[in-house]
Amino acid sequence: MIEIGAQVDLSHPPDRVWLALTDRQLLGRWFADAETVEGVPDRLLLHTAGLPGFEANVEVEVTERREPELLVLACDEAGRLSELTCAVTATKQGCRLEMREVTTHGAWSAEQHEPREQQLRQALTVRLPAILDWLAFQQVDLRRGDGGMTAELPLVGASSGPARARRRGRQVAAALVGVVAVGGVAAWVALPAGSEQRAAPPSAPSPSPSATPVEVAATPRPTTSVRPSRTAGSPTARASRSPSAKPSPTLTSAPPPPPPLTASYDTDSSRLFGYTGEVVLGNPAATAVDGWVVVVSLADGSTVDDVDGADWRQNGRSVTFTGAAVPAGGSQTFRFDVRDNRPKAREPETCTVDGNPCAGL
């Protein structure tokens, strides 16, 4: 028994990968052209005679099928028999496809074994991801219905943005009402002292017993000049010292602000026409942080296809991510799949968390 095999991690759902395995037209795009065998409706003929590692066309027949997880084929290549198993396993990023072929009668030659395995690996890691990306765009276009083509793909998860903005607006309004109320109480507390000053009439100087009417009439100016000195020592002047003591409690220093969130970016995996980006948020503060915002600027022509671990919205090249609170002294990770219209995907140009740059770019 001789065995060859290969596996690949794909950023596509199992249903889409299953379609690429079982649809004859799609199979011809990434592996080999297929047609039904005349007189045997349950069999297909794969035109593999011209592929590296194959000496003839291969007839295949399905012996086990569990959609979208397992597909087992009995293969006949000019009398050499083998069994090909295709297993699809769902992952956090999409799914993993593993293909394994085992001979059941006959054997491949040494010159045939290595090219055949290389051909299988190239099909899984290069051509199949490209076809799946193309198929994903086709399915998005079909979902648009009669609405016509648009400049950008439909946005997913953007509905959470307005709700969050409304919640923040209510919080800001409540804070402003609190500030106005506190300011009104402070003004009311300070008002009596000032009102007493304005209400208290200046006290008239009592005439000296020794002063005669003639002397008072003859010297009116010195009498008026003495009045300010008496009012300075009056209760009004003493009351002016009490407000200066009241603000002393406000001189206490405010606690220092908590340290900002940190973020680091990394390209988790690269593939043809796209990649998967990963952002890890860190919270060095002693309390949980809510309301974080990460903004990633993509290269021109790139679009986000799927996000795990955050809400998101895309506006042109800018993608805004928001999510759950980051625990005190802990971290939080989110990933996003990017589609690029060029064979060699380009990483994001910038990444910021709450306006501060992310590490890794």
Cis before residue 202, ω within 30 degrees of 0? no
Tokens of 318: 């800018």
Tokens of 311: 């809400």
pLDDT at 190 over 80: no
Give the pLDDT band (50/70/90) at residue 245: low
For the chain, which residues make up each domain, given as ranges? 3-144, 262-357
Torsional sign, CA 235, 238, 240, 242: negative
Q: Which CATH number does 3-144 carry? A: 3.30.530.20
Tokens of 180: 């106005």
The rounded distance, in Å, linking the Cα atoms of 142 and 162 is 28
pLDDT at 281 over 60: yes
What class has domain 262-357?
A: mainly beta
Query: Which pLDDT does position 209 carry in this prediction?
Result: 44
77-119, pLDDT tens digit by residue? 988 899 999 999 999 989 999 999 999 988 878 778 888 888 8
pLDDT at 74 over 80: yes
Query: Which pLDDT does position 241 carry in this prediction?
Result: 53
Query: Which pLDDT does position 267 carry in this prediction?
Result: 85
Compute the average pLDDT of residues 108-134: 87
The closest alpha carbon to 348, from 291, 302, 306, 286, belongs to: 302
Quote the crossing angle between the two packed helices 128-143 and 14-22, to the nearest 10°. 110
pLDDT at 206 over 60: no
Give the pLDDT band (50/70/90) at residue 313: very high
Tokens of 124: 């899984």
Give the pLDDT band (50/70/90) at residue 192: very low
Give every CB contact of residue 295 below 8 A, 6+ residues apart in sequence.
318, 319, 320, 321, 350, 351, 352
Query: Which pLDDT does position 253 carry in this prediction?
Result: 65
Strand bridging mode 293-297 / 40-46: unpaired
